[in-house]
Amino acid sequence: MKLPSLNHLYTGLINVIKRFPLEFLFALCATFCWCYYIHLSDYRQRTELHEELRDTLIKCIMMMNLALAFMLALDLFAERNNYPIVKKWMLRMVALAFCVLLFFLLDPIHRIADMFRIVLLAFAFHLLVAFSPFTGSDNTQGFWQFNKILFLRFLTSALYSAVLFAGLAIALVAIDGLFAADIRWSTYMIVFAIITAGFNTIFFLSGLPTDIPGLNEDHSYPKGLKIFTQFVLIPLMTIYLAILLVYEIKIIILWQLPKGLVSSLVLGYAVFGILSLLLIYPIKDTAGNGWIKLFSKFFYVMLIPLIILLTLAVSKRVGHYGITESRYIIIVLALWLAAITIYFLFSKKQNIKTIPVSLCLIALLATYGPQSAFSVSKYSQLNRLERMLKSKKPEDLKEKPSVIRYLIQAHGLAILQPFVKKDLSEIERKIELKNDYVYKQREDKIDTAMALLKIKDEGETARKSISFTLVNDENEILKVKGYDYAIEMNTYPQPKNFVVNGHKIETNSNNAGNNLTLSVDAIEVLYIDVNKIFKEAILAFKRDSLKATKNKQEFYYPGKLMQFSKTLAGYEYTVVITSLQQTYYPDDDTEIARNWGDSKSYLLIKKL
């Protein structure tokens, strides 16, 4: 395989900037945000500002993906309809304003529902790219040729990007090994981000066809697609079908309802089958390919019992647990498959554009409005919770906590306002201001809701736990007198490398933050088992020998048990842990080792 030359890349870059200026800008912004996120993860401290910036960068990357796909679809539409430059830029500005509105409207970090919305919008916008230049009639051939180019260009871009990254990664490994350059893992990740978000996107855009109307006259067909369909997709589809048919026979014999896993298998069969039919669509009427029509009929006929199986599987889950976003999507896909099956079995025209157009519309309708996945799921679970709060049945008492967890994770604490008198929006705001970490915020919101609704969670997914903090009673304010250097070495981010008077020093935290290590010139000087310290503190807590601070679940711990020293080559290295936070399960102390810990500590260095 021959990689593109520098001149070819430069020409493609200039063409992309001229043809898709905003898409190019979005790709650059996404690349910068991704690289900066990696940089923050590796070098910056976990302060409140740091965490907020990281969350914003993740959100920016998501929104740039949405904006790029949406803008590309509109630019292709404008090109196909020969819009003048002024009208094209007006359309771009409207699209840009819409994307900015989405940025401020969506909060995927704190609300899972908004994460689903972004996924649905991304799905819809990418489908929009597939058919936006072909909104008229009698252009099915051009539509297929255009999407063939998109498909092959995507595979080519992915292959070139993989080869380029592999080559550069090997080069970095060679430099690191030959010159002791100390190339960190984050450097490899930054290279990956630049190639994936930058090079891959721009290379893909540079290969999009410019003569879109001329594609209607293109009847070429790559033989490789037919081979790929016959020997890869159709065999995979057949395997799915065989498994499902045997399982369906088992259901009939044993007369039992299907399991939830069957939904994924049915959808897998549908995806492979529809993709197969789309790839071989242009040659279905050519001589020697009569099997294609037979295969098409067979595929859709076999979909009928599978759709029934899918309906039974999802109705079982909905009957027991109500509608959630994922179940809503499965229900909608089942209805869509039923409609597509009827259309392709009984329609004479059988326009393949129906598939992406209908899926795009469904994805958009599922995003916002009373019919959306989130509104329907919210009302379903709220009604379920309202019924459970009035019920005394053991099964309802057991499932109430899971419903509350779902509602808070998907929609936030304020969604439960109809059930309590206190202002949940204000409580939610205070919780988010108090805690830096999203996971901790969610757990505090859930605990608050359980307390307000007087619900005891005894389920396996929410066992009683205590956030337990130890504070060094001698070094809550660090004393550095007598030392030459003081280096912060908190649990996150790690590892860290320093050079002090020619000595290479590395600090690291691993095993879920449950130990700290210090190495000097590749020699391990100190290994601190943080988990052991915490377990000993729990025993002291049970003996009631720990003095509490003013904060809840925070205790002073002897400084001599949180300080560790070692002498090496004329230097004394001392690690002082100033605070240690961990999750404590009162019913099972062995659970401590499996949880993420967090510690704040300093490395003090003194030349002897």
Per-residue pLDDT, 321: 86
Residue type, 46: R
Identify the residue whose tokens are 């204000």: 426
Q: Is residue 103 part of a domain?
A: yes
Q: Are residues 228 and 335 in the same domain?
A: yes
Q: pLDDT at residue 170 above 90?
A: yes
In a domain, 348, yes or no: yes
Same domain, 79 and 124: yes
Chain segment 474-489, per-residue pLDDT in tens: 766 677 778 888 887 7
* Inside any domain, residue 573: yes
**Is 383 a member of any domain?**
yes
Mean per-residue pLDDT, 166-174? 94
Mean pLDDT value across residues 342-369? 92
Final residue of a structural domain among 169, 196, 217: 217
Instruction: Give the pLDDT score at 21.
Output: 96
Question: Is residue 134 domain-resident?
Answer: yes
Same domain, 21 and 79: yes
Residues 316, 446 share a domain: no
493 occurs within a structural domain: yes
Distances (CA, A) of 260 to 256, 305, 310, 312, 441: 13, 16, 9, 9, 31
Contact between 273 and 344 under an 8 Å Cβ cutoff? The reply is no
Residues 443 and 346 occupy one common structural domain: no
Strand ranges (E), 485-570: 485-488, 496-500, 503-510, 515-520, 523-529, 547-548, 554-557, 563-568
In a domain, 1, yes or no: no
Average pLDDT, integer, range 283-292:
76
Residues 35 and 158 in one domain: yes
274 contacts 356 by C-beta, under 8 angstroms: no
600 and 482 in a single domain? The answer is yes
Mean pLDDT of the chain, nearest integer: 84
pTM for the model stands at 0.76
Say whether both 319 and 255 belong to one domain.
Answer: yes
Domain ends where: 408, 440, 462? 462
Q: What is the pLDDT of residue 593?
A: 41
> In 3D, which of 570, 578, 569, 568 has the Cα closest to residue 603?
578
Based on the fold, state whether residues 390 and 405 are members of the same structural domain. yes
Q: Quick check: bond before 493 cis, omega within 30?
A: yes
- Split into its structural domains, the chain has a count of 4
Burial 413-424 (b: 16+ CB within 10 A, else e): bebbeeeeeeeb
pLDDT, greater one: 206 or 433: 206
Distance between CA 41 and CA 433 in Å, rounded?
Answer: 22
Q: Is residue 155 part of a domain?
A: yes
Distance in angstroms between the alpha carbons of the first and the last residue of the chain: 60
Q: What is the pLDDT of residue 393?
A: 85
Please indicate whether residue 213 or residue 581 has the higher confidence score (pLDDT): 213
Same domain, 345 and 425: no
* Confidence category of residue 43, pLDDT binned at 50, 70, 90: low
The rounded distance, in Å, linking the Cα atoms of 582 and 173 is: 37
Per DSSP bridges, beta strands 598-607 and 571-584 are: antiparallel
- CA 96, distance to chain mean position in Å, is 24
Asked whether residue 501 carries a pLDDT value surpassing 90, the answer given is no
Q: Which long-range contacts (CB under 8 A, 24 or more apart) does 47-55 make?
A: 47/436, 48/436, 51/436, 51/437, 55/109, 55/438
Residues 166 and 97 in one domain: yes
The Cα–Cα gap between 255 and 259 comes to 13
Answer with the one of 447, 462, 477 that is the final residue of a domain. 462
- Same domain? For 200 and 239 the reply is no
Predicted confidence at residue 64, as pLDDT, reads 96
Domain with 120, as residue range(s), is 6-217
User: What is the percent of the chain where pLDDT is above 70?
Assistant: 88
Q: Which pair of structure tokens corresponds to residue 131?
A: 């058919």
Give the model confidence (pLDDT) of 436-485 as tens digits.
667 678 888 888 888 888 887 654 444 455 667 777 777 666 777 788 88
Residues 6+ apart with CB under 8 A from 460: none
